[in-house]
Amino acid sequence: MTLLIDIGNTRLKYVRHTENGFTKSQSINNDEINVEQLALLFSNEIEVIVSSVADNKLLELIEQVAYKHQITIVRAQTQKETNGVICGYDNYQQMGVDRWLAIIGAQCLVPNKYLIVVDAGTATTIDVIDKNKKHLGGWILPGVKTIHDAIIEKTAQVSSTFKPVEAIAFGLNTADNVNQASWAASIGLIEQAIRTLGSNQSLASDKIKLSIEIIFTGGNGAELAKLYRQQSGLQVIGKYQVVDNLVFHGLNTYQKCATK
């Protein structure tokens, strides 16, 4: 049995991978984690694979507890190449490991396609992969709620409550203006990613056969997918799907490569 751990800035999320697939994802607030809790979490594990974008102190604690219990632990890191997927960054070490794991997880789930991976959390990130497993680059935008909250924090007379919207529409009051625009910005980013990929000169010979699949993940991924589907003026190219906890698919792929 393999324990897969993803440490974010505020929460540690984990699943177990068994012969029947992934167990249900669970989480613990980072500031609540202690040695006793980790010892219980690690009981009966064969190995642990962990990714982290948080403070190294928590990662070091996890490594210490794993070592004490004689459990093999693998720390996932961004690589120039994983499972045949090539990172497009000029310096691959600058890419966050969470984004890299989402990329390799998406490519493993949907091989031989042009992929747009939309990870909608605190930031909304876009990453594009071609059908030959090459990462073509991406974008980082403040997340939907981050955009909304920034307007409220930086203006004295504007108030709004962040919430999902049924469809992208023009707001008829200030609160709706702010909320709608926050969602529309990320939908616009996806539209632009489709246009940019479709107009890439290096893909000209593939234009007729160009097949794009969009994979949504992250806390607001499902809501963005719904809005993408509902946009009457937006040409829906190829297929799209929502994959909860895409990073765990990436961790599982990474673990298989690490143990070869």
**Token reading at 167:** 């469809």
Mean pLDDT of 5-9: 88
So what's the pLDDT on residue 211?
75
So what's the pLDDT on residue 217?
96
pLDDT (tens digit, 9 = 90+) per residue, 81-90?
999 999 999 9
Report the distance separating Cα 102 and Cα 96, nearest Å.
10
So what's the pLDDT on residue 151?
93
3 state DSSP class of 244: coil
pLDDT (tens digit, 9 = 90+) per residue, 126-185?
999 999 999 999 999 999 999 999 999 999 888 999 999 999 999 999 999 999 999 999
So what's the pLDDT on residue 2?
87
**With 0-12 CB in 10 A as exposed, 13-18 as middle and 19+ as buried, what is 29?**
exposed
pLDDT (tens digit, 9 = 90+) per residue, 82-125?
999 999 999 999 999 999 999 999 999 999 889 999 999 999 99
So what's the pLDDT on residue 232?
47
pLDDT (tens digit, 9 = 90+) per residue, 31-78?
889 898 888 888 776 788 999 887 788 888 988 888 888 888 899 999
Does 6 show up as a binding residue in the annotation?
A: yes
- Rounded to 10 degrees, what is the CA torsion of 38, 42, 47, 50? -30
Q: Is the pLDDT of residue 223 over 90?
A: yes
In the set 55, 90, 98, 244, the catalytic residue is 98
Count of CB atoms situated within 10 Å of the CB of 9:
11
So what's the pLDDT on residue 215?
97
So what's the pLDDT on residue 47?
85
Does 99 show up as a binding residue in the annotation?
A: yes
Does 247 show up as a binding residue in the annotation?
A: no
Does 12 show up as a binding residue in the annotation?
A: yes
Does 98 show up as a binding residue in the annotation?
A: yes
pLDDT (tens digit, 9 = 90+) per residue, 225-254?
999 988 744 555 568 899 988 999 999 999
- Domains of the chain plus CATH, in order, are 2-75 (3.30.420.40), 81-249 (3.30.420.40)
So what's the pLDDT on residue 209?
46
Report the distance separating Cα 93 and Cα 96, nearest Å.
8
Query: What pTM does this model have?
Result: 0.90
Does 229 show up as a binding residue in the annotation?
A: no
- Rounded to 10 degrees, what is the CA torsion of 129, 107, 11, 90? -40
Tell me, yes or no, if 176 is annotated catalytic.
Answer: no
pLDDT bucket at 203, cuts 50 / 70 / 90: low
Cα distances (angstroms) measured from residue 59 to each of 28, 53, 66, 79? 14, 9, 11, 19
Its sign, for the CA torsion 35, 121, 123, 83, is positive
- Check: CB of residue 178 under 8 Å from CB of residue 153: no
So what's the pLDDT on residue 202?
64
Report the distance separating Cα 132 and Cα 107, nearest Å.
10
- Check: CB of residue 242 under 8 Å from CB of residue 9: no
Of the two residues 162 and 197, the one the predictor is more confident about is: 162
Q: Which of 123, 128, 129 is nearest to 141 (CA)?
A: 123
**With 0-12 CB in 10 A as exposed, 13-18 as middle and 19+ as buried, what is 80?**
exposed
Cα distances (angstroms) measured from residue 115 to each of 138, 211, 213? 11, 8, 5
Report the distance separating Cα 244 and Cα 211, nearest Å.
23
Q: Which of 128, 136, 84 is nearest to 237 (CA)?
A: 128
